[in-house]
Amino acid sequence: MIDNILWQPTLIDIEQAALRIAPYIHQTPLMRSTLIDQLAGCRLTFKCENLQKTGAFKVRGACNAVLKLSAQQAARGVATHSSGNHGAALALAARNRGIPAYIVVPSSAPVVKKRAIIGYGGEIIDCEPTLVARLETLEQTLTRTGAQFVPPYDHADIISGQGTAALELHRQLAANSADTLITPVGGGGLLAGTAIASKSLRPQCRVFGAEPAAADDAYRSFYSGQRITEHTVNSIADGLLTTLGVANFSIIQQSVDSILRVEEQQIIDAMKLIASRLKLVVEPSAAVPLAAVLAHKSLFAGSHVAIILSGGNVDLEQLPW
């Protein structure tokens, strides 16, 4: 099992990760919409990780973690638990290295995400849709296969890989830099990596996380100072239903300015707006940051806000509207 490394990555770790994974990922484009700017009352730039390989930013962290394994560690493959995007990313990263991937997937995961895992060569192991069931099934899988555990978010190599999205974004914007970045937050790997990269490169840049009010453990953890480990979730944003990671919580406490909550209908409306104006398919989790900007306009008025659209793996026959 990969050690649960809780040391905090630095900008150097993120820059090294960017070089390491460059041959295996896309540099995703930036997009803008004048109409959405007018609705939001600020200038918005969208980083389109929904167009990334596997359809989500997760491939960045998975590739970084798998490529850092020694030959001995990688010999018997890798394993993880995932509601979909990390599982697909790990399956692709493993295939690139020529090793097997075993993915524990809750029964509630979207079919489109299960198909992606299989398509990239991963072996799915089903479990009940609870964290306890995920972890128990994962332990059984690790014992059976001898595979290395690659955590979905709570690990320095994963955080470093996810931080490359923000690093790439800042480099693409160059002199037209954003003064605010906002990402969705579930386990916290993307938000933590974004905060490290952004605060290192541009210390005055504000960094926000956004999550559904129906799955707000990160919000409550951030403002209580205590990491919430048990909560009831009921949101269409299936990628954000995990508990905030230990390492991620520490980084977020130190480097994130605020975490915002949005309602389910606001997420749906943001998905529709992205589809109609940017002509992009995004999953509910990816629409949460735009929903937060539109719901909290006074926080962003007149700013240049960059939003990371985290993924586009949505079942077109099961759209929330």
**pLDDT recorded at residue 277:** 97
Residue 83 a catalytic site member: yes
- Identified catalytic residue from 33, 47, 53, 58: 58
The answer on 87 and 45 residing in a single domain is no
What is the residue range of 118's domain? 59-149
- The predicted-structure confidence for 209-259, as pLDDT tens digits, reads as follows 999 999 999 999 999 999 998 777 889 998 898 889 999 999 999 999 999
Q: Note whether residue 1 is domain-resident.
A: no
Look at residues 149, 184, 218 and tell me which one is the last residue of a structural domain: 149
The answer on 76 and 186 residing in a single domain is no
- Identified catalytic residue from 33, 53, 82, 83: 83
- The predicted-structure confidence for 115-154, as pLDDT tens digits, reads as follows 899 999 999 999 998 878 988 999 999 999 999 999 989 9
Q: Note whether residue 161 is domain-resident.
A: yes
The answer on 277 and 190 residing in a single domain is yes
- The predicted-structure confidence for 44-95, as pLDDT tens digits, reads as follows 999 999 999 999 999 999 999 999 999 999 999 999 998 778 999 999 999 9
- The predicted-structure confidence for 4-29, as pLDDT tens digits, reads as follows 555 789 999 999 999 999 999 999 99
Look at residues 149, 169, 196 and tell me which one is the last residue of a structural domain: 149
Q: Note whether residue 5 is domain-resident.
A: no
- The predicted-structure confidence for 89-103, as pLDDT tens digits, reads as follows 999 999 999 999 999
Percent of the chain with pLDDT over 70: 98
Look at residues 149, 169, 194 and tell me which one is the last residue of a structural domain: 149
Domain count, the chain: 2
CA separation for the pair 204, 170 (Å, rounded)? 13
Mean pLDDT across the chain, nearest whole number? 94
Q: Note whether residue 3 is domain-resident.
A: no
CA separation for the pair 308, 312 (Å, rounded)? 12
Q: Note whether residue 192 is domain-resident.
A: yes
CA separation for the pair 259, 280 (Å, rounded)? 25
**Strands 30-31 and 43-48, how do they pair?**
antiparallel
Q: Is the pLDDT of residue 2 over 70?
A: no
Q: Note whether residue 44 is domain-resident.
A: yes
Residue 200 a catalytic site member: no
Q: Note whether residue 253 is domain-resident.
A: yes
CA distances from 210 to 184, 197, 219, 254, 305 (A): 5, 18, 8, 17, 13
Q: Note whether residue 4 is domain-resident.
A: no
**Strands 180-184 and 206-212, how do they pair?**
parallel
Distant-in-sequence, close-in-space partners of 143: CB < 8 Å, separation ≥ 6? none
